[in-house]
Amino acid sequence: MKQEIDFIKFSPTQNMTILVKTVHAAEQYSHIATRLMSYDNVYAEQVGFIEPTTRPEAAAHLQMAGGEFCGNACMALAAHLATEAGLAQQDCVDIALDVSGTDQLIMCHVKKQQNEYNCQVTMPVPRQIEQRTIRYEGMELDLVIIRYAEFIHIVIEVDDFDDIMKKRAQTLARLLGLTLGDKLIGILLYQSHSAEMAPLIYVSELDSLIWERGCGSGTASVGAYLAWSQQREITQYIKQPGGAIKVIADWNGTELGGITIEGSVGIVAQGKAYIDAPMEWSGVNA
């Protein structure tokens, strides 16, 4: 039995993102996302579901498949809503979103530029930032742990993105995902001399471990780390494999203020996907 899925595919800094328009039961999200993300289907790095919101000030609710928060998916949904509203070239619109993984309302400022949308997005502010040195795989590793309500990012400063460090990051992400119980673990390898980041994202609900081409929430976390460590406001373009994302992290003298990221989003595909439905969806016990 095949199930039909209405989808839109976006490229926010090449962090390929699928948003599902059709209505599905929440317990189906994980299976749908896993199939859509696979190489033999639509193929992407993450999947979100567009839902109605109960918050009157928000235009829509974005529910990521693993219950995580995703800044790039917020940009994608804002671009979609701007398209639906018929936003003209060089015009701007402000869109508020209700998003999984955070209680904060996410504000998006969208401007249409040729075939893309420039999006500025307010991001969740970390609850805590702390630095630790751990003994891991026979070496001392300096970590900066950035805690949010339902996810954790870890910034590790490196000299280069070598395969050994990447393999250590993958092992660490899975280990933390199993032990901490957070919906998302991000390991952000960061080169300070070149302002480059290699973001690894692990979503435990999907058992999805991906080196992303671009990461909006990871960019925000690196900006938060830089503001915290330097005790000042930060405006920085963070280079990533898919391009650069701008972050502005405010510092009010004693702690972090607001965090905003800015990037471009392209709509690359729209249509129907077909996936195999588990037997229990059709009322047959597996």
8 Å CB contact between 190 and 155: yes
Identify whether 92 is a catalytic site residue: no
Which among 37, 29, 27, 28 has a CA at the least distance from the CA of 273? 37
Torsion of Cα atoms, 203 then 204 then 210 then 213, to 10°? 10
- Per the annotation, the verdict on 74 as an active-site residue is no
CA distance readout (Å), 8 to 55, 138, 143, 220, 271? 24, 45, 37, 25, 7
Q: What residue ranges in the chain does DSSP mark as E strands?
A: 2-12, 17-20, 46-51, 60-64, 92-99, 106-113, 116-123, 128-136, 139-147, 151-157, 184-191, 196-203, 208-211, 234-240, 243-251, 256-276
The residue annotated as part of the active site, out of 70, 74, 108, 119, is 70
The whole-angstrom separation of Cα 135 and Cα 114 is 50
Tell me which residues are annotated as active site.
70, 215
